Amino acid sequence: MSAVPHSPSVTHTASPDTVTPGRALELDVLRVLSLVAMATLHLLSTWRLGTDVEPWASEVARSIHDACQFCVPVLFLVSLVLAARRPKAASGASRSVMARVGALARPTFTWLGLYWLVGLVLQSRGLRSPWIFLIPLGEGPLATAVLAVHLWFMLVLLQMEPLVPLVNRAVERLTGGRASRAVALAAGVFVLKAGVTAVMFQPSRAALAGWLGLTAPFWLDLMVLGAAWPLLQTLLPQRPSLGTLAVWGVLMPATAVMLDAMEVRYWVAQGVPDMLAHSNWRVGNLYYSITLFTAVVVHKDWMLPRLSFATTSWLMRFSQSYAYAFYLAHALFLITADLLAARLGWPPAPRLVFMAVLTFGGTAVFLALLRRAPRLGVWLGMR
């Protein structure tokens, strides 16, 4: 069931996010915005590690970094909402799940291998990158496990795929098609997430919390929200107005930003490792992400008609065909930019511009080249 009959949509039949009869454009907008935010926070978190970056500049970068943390929950939620809209197959359900897992696994493990090679090259030259995690398992370079840090998202998404049909069926039975039950269920999993993070986000359990965030059950709240979204959306204002803009577009996101910042300060004061305290795994960031997601959905009838046809076409094409490839590939160009910038010895401001241009521009050129080689593109994340 869709509560957005007037939204621009497109029939899409060749990806793990297949949906019939149409696909709401606001989800494509949210996915593209999240990908840009994700690459931005990766860029800033790398740049601010420079020893010559002024403290005030580092704090500004950290603030922008934290503001971009909505990206991961929103990316998950877009995929999960699309999954809830898939037609329910009367037969061959497990085959359909395996096909989607295969479509995600092929580029994920291809890039794991490519980043493994990058890690070995860096190790052989005595270089390091915050985006390549080396785990020595024995003597020699080949006895080193190499993990590309940002690929955790794809590994969680792979785990989610077999669970999504089960969660969708459970939500359907528990709600019985009633929006009030969907609200209660969503509130329940939100409280559960708050309890889990309160227990796990402690200095003594930080390592375990890090591993827990790499498992799909940790993101059960988003899976439930995605499954319940068709019902929850019926409770949202159906027509945007100045009132909805004040409440859903300003007040709720502003409140979420303040609560999110308060949670970060709390975890830092508790001695939680910096990476975890500022992570997008926190319950405050979840609330912040949901408010932004909802604000876009509520005001889609204001925003989307103002987009030109060319912009609309590009957003849909990028979201549906290039999103995973962008996510998988951008860190390669960020690593390259970081290493080159260090050799050039530029001051922080020009270095940041150089890294931004090479990261976004290099990834864009790479995707344009992949478009000319569709068979290779399938293995590298294009759909």
The CA-CA-CA angle for residues 308, 311, 314, to 5°, reads 150
Q: How many residues does the chain have?
A: 383
CA distance 279 to 290: 16
**175: helix, coil or strand?**
helix
CA distance 334 to 49: 14
Write down the pLDDT at residue 23: 60
pTM reported for the whole predicted model: 0.88
Write down the pLDDT at residue 231: 93
CB count within 10 Å of CB 94 equals: 11
CB count within 10 Å of CB 156 equals: 17
Mean pLDDT in runs of 10 for the chain (383 residues)?
A: 37 38 80 96 91 91 91 94 74 75 92 90 86 68 67 92 91 93 93 89 82 87 93 91 92 93 90 84 91 94 91 93 95 94 90 96 96 93 90
Write down the pLDDT at residue 146: 65
Write down the pLDDT at residue 4: 34
Torsion angle defined by CA atoms of residues 359, 360, 361 and 367, in that order, rounded to the nearest 10 degrees? 100
**147: helix, coil or strand?**
strand
Query: How deeply is 57 buried, as exposed, middle or buried, from its count of CB atoms within 10 A (0-12, 13-18, 19+)?
Result: middle
Write down the pLDDT at residue 294: 95
